[in-house]
A and B are shown apart, each in its own frame.
Chain A
Amino acid sequence: MSETKLSESSEVVIRTNKLTKEFIRDEFHVIALKDVNIEIHRGEFVALMGPSGSGKSTLLHLIAAMDKSTGGEIEVLGENLNRLSDTQIAHWRNVHVGFVFQQFNLIPVLTALENVELPLKLTNLKKAERLEHATTALKLVGLGDRLGHFPRQLSGGQEQRVAIARAIVTDPQLILADEPTGNLDAQSADDVLTMLSRLNKEYSKTVVMVTHDPHAAKFATRVRHLEKGELLPEGVTTTA
């Protein structure tokens, strides 16, 4: 595993080198990401911004190893993701990454507690321990009184908080959020962003969030902009 490392630096959590993602859609050759170089350090809360099609979600998916790059290299938490098998990536993701979706993506037939317990089923924890961890995570997001509720019995904001609890229940070092407030009202969005900020500040989680919303980006410690698949220099914003 050590030979896959690009860097010995423990401070750098995410490092990409000329990361490129191209694909062919119908007869069109699309460059979703082009030669992206970025470093994200431990404890940062980075917002990736840009217009639709700028490649910000593609970059997030590559960081989460949900997709494969077509060029360049990507190292996350010391692992060169291009060299891991599908099974190794699945295990790596379970241990190190928590993912928050725009559309919550809770399993509708499971209660809030069972949804949060789900990632722990891949660990060696016993049932009682899993439930204890899941309960703790739900209490942390303020849903200690909603353990037995199904997703349909929760508001959008509550669903997203369950999703955050699910993302943090394995105590991952890295939390990735793809438009986490996109489907929420202003108050719920603020609650969710405050929660991500708390996780970053109080629990030292590295957070990478994709957002359109400048207000959401204010919760981040650093903002990077993408445009047409290219990462703009630090401090440069998009025109959109």
Chain B
Amino acid sequence: MFKNFPLIVKNCWRNRRRTTLTILSIGASLCLLGILMAVYQAFYLSDGAPEQALRLVTRNKVGLAATMPQAYEPKIKALPGVHEVMVANWYGGTYIDDKPEHQFARFATEADKLFTIRPEMKLSDEEKAAFLHDRRGCIIGKELADKLKLKDGDRMTLIGDIYPGNLDFTVRGVYDAPIDNGVFYFDKAYIEEGLPDRRKGNVGIFYVLANTADDVPRIEKAVDAMFANSPQETKTETESAFALSFAAFLGNVKGFLMVVSAAVTFTILLVSANTIAMSVRERIREIGVLKVLGFTNAMVLGIILGEAILISAAGGVIGVFLADLLAAGLRHGPDYMEQLHTLHITTPVAFLCVAVAAFIGLVSAYIPAFQASRIPILSALRNTD
């Protein structure tokens, strides 16, 4: 087979326009398949960031819009294996206007616990101190700061919607973190000041930090068991699973990804099969000549399959390259889908894409290649197509 590789390459390149278009069409399909695979991996197969391994999120079992009493906080913290618990409420509001560039996640939280719960946030001690000592202070992710062109000391105002009134803030720090780098945090006490008593003490989610990874599954069950049959039952899950629940808002994402992947794969199969069938039909006579020279049926089969695999694999490599470029664009996707922010065409996904392409080439070409390899010499030589 290796001896015949130059012949395989030259055969692939005999109709340059068709081969180029085939490679590009397979590349485009594989780009989509690569992205789908990468999204699937990020959503369902990734372990999440290392920082997330010890964190759980507890929310009202009814849904994210329902709250829980803050009185749950000490009860959760009292559970074995729990290192810290922090309240976080989705603030909502509007910054300047409703334009997409002004949309970002805003959380009212317990400032004094934030850096314990999220140790991966990098900002200077001075910034931390400034934030902790200023109830109207806020910290923002570097990505967000760059987008909004904000820096330490800048002032900004959020117009309330879920919570009444407008809130003025001073940027006290710009943090850098591998995940959630576009989030705005401020002290929950600031909004509690202006709330009526009946709205105080309501919590959207609790972030729970476990002592060890082994404690995580036990805490997950213990928290929900503790509040079972209460007016506000809870649902506790790992931070990765919690983030994934946002994707579920889009519907059956897993099913969607699999169906689209299958459709893409089938499309490539047809494209490749069509190309190989045309290519084989055009040179039946040459196949007869090869056999006269002593090439066996198996060798002819190998040469044709080799061409199909080479063309498909080339499309696969281009597809992976395009998918990597596309993934770079998707990393700037919506903040609420943090999996997208770390979307990469990993080496296993890249290899899988090329392998899928090569396999499709093999499968699609097998029938025309097999038929061509079995054609009697004289029938092949008499072919006039």
Which residues of A are interface residues toward B (Cβ below 8 A)?
61, 64, 66-67, 86-87, 90-91, 93-95, 99, 101, 105, 107-110, 114, 118-119, 121-122, 166
Contacts and interface: CB of A to CB of B under 8 A. Distances in A.
B378 A67 contact: yes
A130 B86 CA distance: 76
Contacts of B4: 121
A105 B295 CA distance: 15
Contacts of B14: 108-109
Contacts of A119: 293-294
A66 B296 contact: no
Contacts, number: 60
Interface in B1-38: 3-4, 6-7, 10-11, 13-14
A85 to B, nearest CB: 10
29 contacts: A61-B378, A64-B292, A66-B292, A66-B377, A66-B381, A67-B376, A67-B378, A87-B296, A90-B291, A90-B295, A91-B294, A94-B294, A95-B294, A105-B289, A105-B381, A107-B286, A107-B289, A109-B11, A109-B13, A110-B7, A110-B10, A114-B7, A118-B7, A118-B293, A119-B293, A119-B294, A121-B4, A122-B293, A122-B299
B294 A90 contact: yes
Interface residues of B, number: 25
B235 interface: no
A93 B286 contact: no
A114 B6 contact: yes
Interface in B284-314: 285-286, 289-299
A169 to B, nearest CB: 10
Contacts of A114: 6-7
Contacts of A101: 289, 381
A121 B378 contact: no
A118 B299 CA distance: 13
Interface of B: 3-4, 6-7, 10-11, 13-14, 285-286, 289-299, 376-378, 381
Nearest to B374: A86
A110 B378 CA distance: 23
Contacts of A110: 7, 10
The 4 A-B residue pairs whose C-beta atoms are closest, nearest first, are: A94-B294, A109-B10, A66-B377, A90-B296
A238 to B, nearest CB: 24
Contacts of B285: 105
A166 B294 CA distance: 12
Could you tell me the dominant secondary structure of chain B's interface residues? helix
Nearest to B291: A90
Contacts of A87: 296-298
A156 B352 CA distance: 49
Contacts of B376: 67
Main secondary structure of the interface of A (DSSP, over half): helix
Given A61-B378, A67-B378, A99 B292 contact: yes
Given A93-B292, A109-B10, A121-B3, 11 more contacts: A67-B376, A67-B377, A67-B378, A87-B296, A90-B296, A99-B292, A105-B289, A107-B289, A110-B7, A118-B7, A121-B7
Contacts of A109: 10-11, 13-14
B296 A166 contact: no
Nearest to A127: B3
Nearest to A93: B294
Nearest to A96: B294
Given A66-B292, A93-B292, A99-B292, A86 B297 contact: yes
A91 B378 CA distance: 18
Nearest to A107: B286
A64 B293 CA distance: 11
A94 B290 CA distance: 10
Contacts of B289: 101, 105, 107
B188 to A, nearest CB: 73
A109 to B, nearest CB: 4
A107 B289 CA distance: 8
B16 to A, nearest CB: 11
Given A66-B378, A107-B286, A109-B13, A86 B296 contact: yes
B378 A166 contact: no
A66 B375 CA distance: 12
Contacts of A90: 291, 294-296
Nearest to A57: B378
Contacts of B298: 87
Given A61-B378, A66-B378, A108-B14, A166 B293 contact: yes
Contacts of B294: 90-91, 93-95, 119, 122
B297 A94 contact: no
Nearest to A166: B293
Nearest to B285: A105
Contacts of B297: 86-87
Nearest to B4: A121
B287 to A, nearest CB: 10
A94 B292 CA distance: 8
Contacts of A118: 7, 290, 293
